[in-house]
Amino acid sequence: MSKTSIQNYKQLIQSLPVKNQSAHIKKKSWARISYKGKTKIEQIVFKKDDIEISRKDILDESNADFKIIKTLMWGYPTGGRNNNIQKSLEHFILLQKILSKAENKNLSLNEANSLLNELDNIKGLGPSTWSKLLYFFNISFCNQKCQIFDLKIVDSLNKKQFCEFEEYSWKQDKQNYFKYISLLSDLANKLDASPDQIENFLFFYNLNYKF
């Protein structure tokens, strides 16, 4: 059983400049992917053939269409695997409608379940992707801000290096997602940090360091 507490790394977590985390995207990597309004969006997003997008750039984006595309480019700079991005963007209008309706809102448990069911019904859109979109569209479930819950985060949690995470067997599903954002919200209050700083710590440090 792990004896280490994540609270031992409070100062490090508090100092993480999470909004500056960025990805480099080459226009040619996204050339094979098509979606509604691609030409118009790429004219605006791709000022150059090689761009850099930060979390802050996406969070500050007011246009829902651009926010979706920038989120996907940031999360999958090489265009993703198995054509999942292509499949999900075939439902671009529906995706934009679903996310715009919930943007900046605090949803009840029933509303949250309904939203996740709608997103799960979009082909190619799994937890790794919809959790990124929920995060960047600033959506909360029961007063708990949605956070990124991709496979690297799940792998990090399952290392069980910290006592705060060891009682669960983490996997990518709705119930684990609810537990995850609730746990990060509680820890953020204890650490006087933001939930996404903890997520960033799990992604970079817990995944790649032995404590």
Query: What pLDDT does 106 receive?
Result: 98
**43 within a domain of the structure (yes/no):** yes
Q: In which band, very low, low, confident or very high, does the pLDDT at 58 lie, cut at 50, 70 and 90?
A: very high
Is 211 within a domain?
no
Whether 57 shows a pLDDT value over 60: the answer reads: yes
Residue at 89 is within a domain: yes
Mean per-residue pLDDT of the chain: 92
The answer to whether residue 1 is domain-embedded is no
The count of structural domains within the chain is: 1
The per-residue DSSP string of 131-199 comes to: HHHHHHTT-EETTEE-----HHHHHHHTT--STTTTTS---SSHHHHHHHHHHHHHHHHHHTS-HHHHH
Mean per-residue pLDDT, 116-133: 95
Lowest-confidence segment of 76-85, 96-105, 117-126, 180-189 by average pLDDT: 76-85
Classify residue 152: in a domain, yes or no: yes
CA geometry: angle 155, 156, 157, nearest 5 deg: 95
In a domain, 62, yes or no: yes
Q: What pLDDT is recorded for position 2?
A: 60
Picking from 19-33, 37-51, 89-103, which range would have the lowest pLDDT averaged per residue? 37-51
Is residue 45, in this structure, part of any structural domain at all?
yes
Asked if residue 20 is part of any domain, the answer here is yes
Domain residue limits at 30: 6-206
Number of C-alpha atoms within 13 angstroms, CB side, residue 170?
A: 22
Q: Would the pTM of this model clear 0.85, i.e. be above it? A: yes
| C-alpha torsion sign, points 4, 10, 14, 15 | negative
